[in-house]
């Protein structure tokens, strides 16, 4: 047998641990969003309270026994996951929209809010190895 090359992947993120079905579900919600808004619209930044409200509406629908969103026909769970991805992306990239004035996305370091509710979300969390 031929000796294989060396790879040093022990400290790299293992993206294969994410469910392919969940990834596809999130992608389908994003595809629906491209028709409703525009491709990559969310990358312009979104009001955090609006993202949280959207997540809450989808969670409430599940609590009421509704599994699929009437507008998209896609699972509410996938919409929740997509909104969570927005929040995670904004957090990990330093983007964060101003909650009060509707200003364009700000860097986390520039974000000043009187809302103590969001303070825990503003501190970067170390990535597990």
Interval 3-19: pLDDT, tens: 989 888 888 999 999 99
More confident residue, 44 or 106: 44
Burial of 116 (0-12, 13-18, 19+ CB in 10 A): exposed
Domain boundaries, the chain: 19-108
| Best mean pLDDT range from 40-49, 63-72, 108-117, 119-128 | 63-72
Interval 42-78: pLDDT, tens: 998 888 889 999 999 999 999 999 999 999 999 999 9
Q: Give residue 90's pLDDT.
A: 87
Q: What sign does the dihedral 21-80-31-101 (CA atoms) show? A: negative
The three-state (H, E, C) secondary structure of the chain, written as one string = CCCCCCCCCCCCCCHHHCCHHHHHHHHHHHHHHHHHCCCCHHHHCCCHHHHHHHHHHHHHHHHCCCCECCCCCCEHHHHHHHHHHHHHHHHHHCEECCCCCCCCCEEHHHCCCCCCCCHHHHCCCCCCC
More confident residue, 113 or 47: 47
Determine the distance from the C-alpha atom of residue 95 to the mean position of all C-alpha atoms in its chain, rounded to a whole number.
Answer: 12
- How many other C-beta atoms lie within 10 A of the C-beta of residue 48? 21
Average pLDDT, the chain: 81
């Amino acid at each position: 047998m031929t000796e294989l090359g060396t790879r040093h992947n022990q400290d790299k993120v293992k993206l294969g641990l994410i469910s392919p079905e969940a990834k596809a579900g999130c992608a389908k919600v994003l595809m629906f969003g491209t028709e409703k808004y525009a491709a990559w619209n969310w990358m312009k930044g979104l009001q955090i309270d609006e993202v949280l409200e959207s997540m809450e509406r989808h969670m409430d629908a599940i609590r009421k026994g509704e599994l699929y969103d009437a507008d998209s026909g896609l699972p509410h769970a996938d919409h929740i996951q997509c909104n969570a991805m927005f929040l995670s992306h904004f957090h990990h990239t330093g983007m964060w929209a101003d909650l009060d004035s509707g200003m364009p996305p700000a860097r986390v370091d520039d974000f000043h809010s009187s809302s103590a509710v969001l303070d825990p979300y503003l501190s970067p969390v170390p990535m597990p190895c």
